[in-house]
Every structure is written in C-alpha cells, then in structure tokens.
Amino acid sequence: MTFCLYECLRAVGLQQHYARFTSAGVCRAAHLSELTIEDYPHLGICTMEERARLFDLVQMIKRNKFKPDADNLPFDHHLEESFNSAITRGTSMHNSDNILLSRCASFQNPNPRSTIVSSETSTNKTPGPQNRKGISRKQSLPPDMKRTTSFGCMAKPTPVFEVKAAANYNYGLPLKVPHRITVCVRKRPLTRVESRRKESDVVTAPSGECVIVHESKDAVDLSPYILEHRFYFDHVFDERNSNEDVYQNTAYPLVQHMLNGGNATCFAYGQTGAGKTHTMLGSPPGRPGLYALAVRDIFTHLSATRTHPSLQVFVSFFEIYCGQLYDLLDHRKRLFAREDGQKMVHISGLRHVRVDSVNSLLEVISHGTKTRTQGMSGVNPCSSRSHALLQIQLRNSNQQIAGRMWFVDLAGSERASDTKEPDKQSRMEGAEINQSLLALKECIRALDRDQSHTPFRQSKLTQVLKNAFIGDSMTCMIANISPGHGATEHTLNTLRYADRKWIELRRRVESSRDINSKEEKELKRDFQDFDGSSEERKMHLRRYHEALQKFIPSTSSSFHLETPSPQTSISSSIPLSFLRHSSSLSVSANGCSGPEEYLDTDAVGGEVRTEANRRPFPLTTGEFHSLNESAPVQHYNHSETRCEQVRGESQKKLGGATGDKRVPKRSAGTDIQHRRLAWDATQQKDPVNVTTILTNLKAQVSDSNDSEDRKALGVEIHNASYSPADGMCSAKQEAAAVVSGCGLFSHTLESTPQQDPAERPLSPACEQTNTFSTSGKLSDVCLEFSNAESHWEQLKEMDALCHKEGLLLHQQPDMGFGEYVHRLEEIMEKKAQCVHSMRAQLQPYLKTIISIMNNPSSISSR
Ligand SMILES: Nc1ncnc2c1ncn2[C@@H]1O[C@H](COP(=O)(O)OP(=O)(O)OP(=O)(O)O)[C@@H](O)[C@H]1O
C-alpha cells in the first residue's frame, strides 16, 4: 500500500521526503488529497519547485476523487495506473513548474486548518518525551489526518515535539533595530551525494528569520518522534537564496561601514562541507562569492564618488593553520603577529597586493586559494583545514588606512569520530581548529560581559582579529548548515554556537542602551562582574557603600570601629552613619577574648555602650573597613573621644601603631569563616544578645521623634542582625518585626536555613523568592546588600566548579568539537543560570539605589 505513496512521490521527484510523509501520518497516496499548502513545510517541502510538484500531485489525486475514508485498495491500483502514465510523461510533469507555480500562488484555502495541535488535545501517547522539561508536543498534521491510522496501513503517526527555550535561554528574538553584530544562517541544498544516499532534508526555514531543525529521535520505548528545534536569527537563507542575496543582507552593510572609514569583519562558520567556502569564494562559473561582490561594490563606490579619488584598495590573504600564520600570496611564507605599544596587532611580513578591479582581486584570491591547506574531511573531499583571512584595506595617498574589512572563512568544525582516517596530523588539525573556535567563543563571551580582560591571546585567530573586535567595528557571522539528517547534530551545534554567542551579546548590548543613567550601568556591570578577586570584591563593595553614603543625610556621621582580636586578627567595622547630634548613639569596641571578637554593645540612655554588657555581636561586613577609610569621618561629642580611645586600645592589643586604621588584609574566605564563627557563636552561645541589642535599639527608635533617626536605626538593626553565612537570619526577622512597628519595613523577610555553601544547590538564587520591594527604603537596600554578599560566595564556588569541569574537558583531546562545545555549554549554562537569577534578584536593589541617587530627597520623604 505504502509502496504506492512512494511511487507517487517518486513520480514527481519527491521520494526523498517519503520518510517525512509517513512519519507525519501520510502513509498512503490517498492521504495526499488532504494536504494543504500549510502542511508542506512540515513535510519538508520547502523549495518552490518541490511545492509545485507536490501541489500538482495533490491536484491529480483530488481530480481522481479518491477519499481517504474509502477503501483504498482499488484507489492505489487506479492511482498507480495514473502515475504510470505520469511517469512516462516524466519530465513534462517536472517541466510544468511555471504553470504550477502560478497555481500554487493562486491556491487559497478558504478555511486554513491549524496544522499544530497542542499536546492536551492529543490522545496519542508517546511515553518519555512529553514529560521532558522544555519540550512541548505538537501535531504536525490536522486531526482528521490522524484518522489515517485507523486504516491499519501503518502504526500510529510519529508525534512531533517542539523544544521550548528555557527562561534564560531565549534563542534570541529577532531585533529590528540596526546593530553592530549581525547573525545569519545559511542552509545549503542537499548535495548530489546526499541525495544519492537518500538523506532527508531536516531543516526548514518558514520565515526569513526562523530556522527549524526537525531532529528524529527515539523515545525510551524506542517509538520514534520528531523534536523540533526553533532558532531565530537576523536572517535565515535557505537553498533558494543565492550568494548575491546573502551578500545584500550580510556583507553589504559592512562594506558601507568600511567605506565610511570603519572596521568590519564577516565570518563564515560551520561544519565541514556546510558551504562556507561556497559563500565566501563562490562557485564558478558565474556565482561570485562575498569576496568578489564586496570588491565590486567598493570599486563601484570609489569610481562613483569623487570625494576619495586617491583611495587605493589593497588585499592580503593568509591562513592560520595549526596555530601558525602563512602568507597565501607569498609562497606560504611564515608570518608573525605582534603587538605594538598601543596594543594593536600587526602581522609582520604580510604581503599586501594592490588591486584595481574585481578580476584582479579574483586572480589574487585564486592564486592564494591554490596554496591554502586542504584535506579530505569525512564530509568534504576538498575541505579547508585552515582559517583563511582575507583583508581588504582602503588606503589614502599617505598610505594610511581609511577603512578595513576582514573576511574570515573559518576551518570546518568536525568531530574526531567523523574523520575517516584519523592519523596524527588530522587529529592535530581537528584539535587546533576546535580550540581556536572555542577561543573565538570565549572572546565573544568576554566582550559580551564587558569584561575588562578579553582572552585574545588564547589562539592565533583571536589574537589576529583583536583589532577587528575592538573600537568602532561591525561584525557579521554567517553560520552555514547542512540540511541532511546525517548532519543534524552538527547543524544543532552550529546553530547553538552562533545563537548562544552572538544573539546573547547583542541582546545585552541593546539592553544596556536602555539604561539611561551612567551610574546604573556601572553598578549593573559591577554585579555582572562577580568573578573577581577578593580585592575586586572589596572595591565593588566600596562603591556600593559610597553610593549608599551619598543619600545619607549630610549631617550624619560615619565612622567605623575596629575590633582586632589577638587570636584571629579580625577587623570589623560598622558604618554608624546614623549618628546624629540630636540623638547621639556611640558605639565602641573592645578586643574580645576567644572567637567572640565582636563588638559588645548595649544602650544606656540613648547610647549603645559596650562596657556595661560584654556580649557578642555579629558585626556587619568586615569589608567595610576599607571603604570607610575613604569615607569622610566625623565624630561627635564624647563619641569621638571614646572611639579614638578604643581604637588606640585595639591597636595596642594588636601591637600596631596607635591611630593606624589599617588592618592586615585577609582573604575573603577567612572573613567568611570568621564571620560564620561569629554567627554561630551568636546563635549558639549567647542567643539572647541579639534580642537584647534589638530591644535597646527599639527603645531608641521609639524614643526618637525624628523620622530620619528612625530610618537610620532601622538600617543599623539590619546591619546588626546580619547573618554572615546566608545573609538572612532569624534575628533579621526579629529586627524587621521590631522596626516594622515603627513603619520602617514593609516587606516580608524570609529566613533561609543555615547551610554550608558547599552543600547548597548551585543556583539557589533561582529558588529564592525575592521579597524585596522597590520602595526605595534604605533598610531594604541594606538588606539586599547583605544578600548580594552571600550570593558572591556561591558564585565563586560555581566559578571554581565550572573551571574544574572545563579543565577536565580540555584534557580529552579526542573529543569532537561538537560534543566538546555542547558539554562546555552545559557547564556554562549552569553558571549563567546562577548569575542570571542573582542578577534578577539584585535588580530591584540597583533600581532602588539609582532612584534614591537620582532623588535623594525621596528617602526622607518616605
Ligand atoms: N548554497 C549552496 N548552493 C549550492 N551548492 C553549495 C552551496 N553551499 C555549498 N555547496 C556545495 O557544497 C560543497 C561543500 O561546500 P564548501 O566547500 O563551501 O564547504 P565548506 O564549509 O567550505 O567545507 P570545509 O570547511 O570542509 O572547507 C561544495 O561542493 C559546494 O559547491
């Protein structure tokens, strides 16, 4: 029975899609009459030519008035006869394309049926995949089509599922605004060899911005299903698009940028044999690639405009093979990339050839291409095994560069297992290619995060392209993909590589444009750059503290006390910015014995004194000592004398010079350890103390009539009840309860159980509920600040873990690029999720700071 369907399809040259038809439920020729044009893409029919053929076939079946519900046995025989004559007509059916095209265009389905049915409506159960996270079930054909299974001709149709993007893994929505980085995908047609192998086309491009990969999978019960992966890019080109189409949407804007004096780079990336060289160089005859098309436009522009009569065009062409540079225009002379004093990279010895026409350029390039390193890959018999870099320079009469453009034909990525005869050389080549592509990715990632350091030196490729990335540059990435089902994994890897790297970068760049204030940008970046050293961390904290100081009323004083312990040399400081002349609150510190080297405080008649009750007190962040060094210090009345005195005593105990506020720097880990000790001591040894302190503070709050005082005290209570281990504690809740009576807190405080950071899940921030309101309360800001600190520790752990996992991956030389990148991406994704959720949590905090900084008076009005 199904043989007839195959014959029908073969008659119109669509037999390569037979598997797709049957997997979509079209098992018999009669079922074809149910198809509408909307169904075609789901069956892998994408080109106009194929659409026209299928359309003709469907019409022919309809004309025969066969119904799918009828007994199909005679139908098939009848149809077979019809097709026998059709087959004998052979080419006439193929040649009727023009007529069919017009018929297709005029074909309108008055009631187009939805071709996608949600999983809830389907009773067709396939165990396994539907329960998977991020996968939703789709039905590629209408419900009535599904009835075809009742004919008993075949088992139930293959279900289709769609991969849903995770929350922070948005595949990159197409953005309409012009941008510096463009990402495009180009799908090539099936090659003759692939067609001969009866490979089916698993890639469809339903729109100019979307590409779908239909991955064929088996469920746990071995039932087949199709997983649809949907990606969005700036442009998606399919097999119908010519090099000219690709050029107009990719390199043309770069050429314009170059003609205006800018730097531009166009990459072609993809699996071996995916069409990179075809895109860049073109295929003779008469199918010029981007190189030639760009130079054509450059010369057209130069001849048309009289503004730059003296501009000359120079080209250089070299390759990077196994980490070495070779000049393709100078008998493969070895080249060296060197940095000058301005950190600009120059390639010494590189030959630049002047060209004055497109033909002369093509001559130069064909000369260079002959000497380019080629080999035989598992897919491509003429595979380029090196990165080829063509540089086009515009130079003025003084030989100064007035515009530069790079075309980079990257070496094809290939898994080691794909290599047919993996000798040592090809293994080394593969490893080198993968490593340089990874380095490229790392650089982009660093640029993406606006990191101060971008690892350009990780590979020759990134080192050479350094100038192309920095400054006023424009970049376009063309990800080339193969459509065959045998290359599905590679295709997905290529799309993920391009997608993750570039779209994310652009999205962030553009989201940063939305941030109006410069300060907010800086603060945001600070939170993104969490992976700094201890010193960097302190610097960040200092900046936040300074930001906080800005909106504290000017009459307030700020000083800190140090309580060094002879045993542990701990230094802790409290920014007592809330001290005011009206309600003087002084705090002094004593050196404590044992691990409880905390500030002993108690309140006596509006003062918090330490002498009366020597009780442990968990101090606020130990890092504040450094930031307070830069903050203006004012002392009031007797507090000043007392503080100086205490400081002197403390220093004496330490054996240091009196008056020197600096304390020995310790690692963040030590700080945390001590702070945790402190916290444990507070919780276990003398849990009453916090309550006592809070009660005293409460007394002050209720005594104070000044609203500012009350707010400041609220902050201090938060500081006082800070939990070093987790950022939240019961005392904090208590503090909230105390102060909420004074109207200082409006949000709910949550307690998280104390847990060792190593035992915590990797991205706990994802789980935490953000209860922080953007009300702009200083106390809330402080609360978030302490939260930020606890997240810091976890992020560091995460970072170390990722680093370790990454190193382990590095140590597996036989691992193919696709697998390598995939596994690395899994690691990075875990980390990204962690960072993402932390950032989400900190967002309101940042907003609050900014709003208060922009309008300092708001804090007092609240
Ligand atoms: N868009 C296209 N249209 C028609 N044929 C194409 C297209 N793209 C690629 N091809 C053909 O596919 C084959 C492989 O293409 P190409 O050599 O450009 O791949 P590649 O990505 O450069 O491979 P490698 O990285 O191994 O050098 C060539 O025969 C080429 O003519």
271 is in an annotated binding site: yes
Q: What is the largest CA-CA distance in the chain?
A: 111
- The pLDDT, as a whole number, for residue 814 is 59
Provide CB contacts within 8 A for 564, sequence distance 6+: 570, 571, 591, 597, 650, 651, 653, 654, 656, 663
Q: Is the CB of 511 under 6 A from ligand 1?
A: no
Q: Which residue, judged by its Cα, is nearest atom 8 of ligand 1? A: 275
**Do the Cβ atoms of 736 and 782 come closer than 8 Å?**
no
Rounded distance between C-alpha atoms, residue 699 and residue 691, angstroms:
12
Q: Is the CB of 282 under 6 A from ligand 1?
A: no
Amino acid (one-letter) located at 535: E
274 is in an annotated binding site: yes
Fold of 170-508: Kinesin (3.40.850)
| Strand duo 181-187 + 235-237: pairing | parallel
276 is in an annotated binding site: yes
Each domain of the chain, given as residue ranges in start order, spans 5-63, 170-508, 794-847
Rounded distance between C-alpha atoms, residue 287 and residue 278, angstroms:
9
pTM of the model: 0.47
- Taking the CA of residue 243 as reference, the ligand 1 atom at the shortest distance is 1
Provide CB contacts within 8 A for 256, sequence distance 6+: none
C-alpha 285 – ligand 1 centre gap (Å): 15
Q: Is the CB of 591 under 6 A from ligand 1?
A: no
Residue to substitute in 46, 188, 267, 385 for testing ligand 1 pocket (most ligand atoms within 8 angstroms of CB):
188
- The pLDDT, as a whole number, for residue 195 is 86
- The pLDDT, as a whole number, for residue 12 is 85
**Do the Cβ atoms of 685 and 616 come closer than 8 Å?**
yes
Mean pLDDT by 10 residues, the chain (862 residues): 71 84 80 81 81 84 56 42 43 35 34 32 36 48 37 53 46 40 88 86 87 86 84 87 91 89 88 88 82 89 72 91 89 88 84 89 86 65 79 88 90 60 70 82 67 77 82 84 88 78 53 49 48 53 54 35 32 32 32 31 32 34 32 36 40 38 38 41 41 48 47 45 37 39 34 38 36 45 57 65 66 63 72 70 68 64 46
Q: What is the dihedral of CA 168, 174, 180, 181, to 10 degrees?
A: 70
C-alpha 669 – ligand 1 centre gap (Å): 54
Residue to substitute in 242, 246, 247, 380 for testing ligand 1 pocket (most ligand atoms within 8 angstroms of CB):
380
305 is in an annotated binding site: no
653 is in an annotated binding site: no
Q: Is the CB of 270 under 6 A from ligand 1?
A: yes
Q: Is the CB of 549 under 6 A from ligand 1?
A: no
Q: Is the CB of 280 under 6 A from ligand 1?
A: no
- The pLDDT, as a whole number, for residue 246 is 93
- The CATH class of 5-63 is mainly alpha
- The pLDDT, as a whole number, for residue 185 is 92
- The pLDDT, as a whole number, for residue 322 is 84
Rounded distance between C-alpha atoms, residue 288 and residue 277, angstroms:
11
Q: Is the CB of 764 under 6 A from ligand 1?
A: no
pLDDT digit string (tens) for 439-495?
A: 887 776 666 556 667 778 888 888 888 877 777 778 888 999 999 988 888 888 888
C-alpha 323 – ligand 1 centre gap (Å): 24
Rounded distance between C-alpha atoms, residue 423 and residue 547, angstroms:
60
C-alpha 476 – ligand 1 centre gap (Å): 19
273 is in an annotated binding site: yes
Rounded distance between C-alpha atoms, residue 53 and residue 355, angstroms:
47
ipTM over 0.90: yes
- The pLDDT, as a whole number, for residue 45 is 84
Q: Which helix (H) or strand (E) holds 205?
A: strand 203-207
pLDDT digit string (tens) for 626-638?
A: 333 333 333 333 3
Q: Is the CB of 480 under 6 A from ligand 1?
A: yes
Q: Is the CB of 139 under 6 A from ligand 1?
A: no
**Do the Cβ atoms of 376 and 429 come closer than 8 Å?**
no
Rounded distance between C-alpha atoms, residue 590 and residue 597, angstroms:
8
Q: Is the CB of 436 under 6 A from ligand 1?
A: no
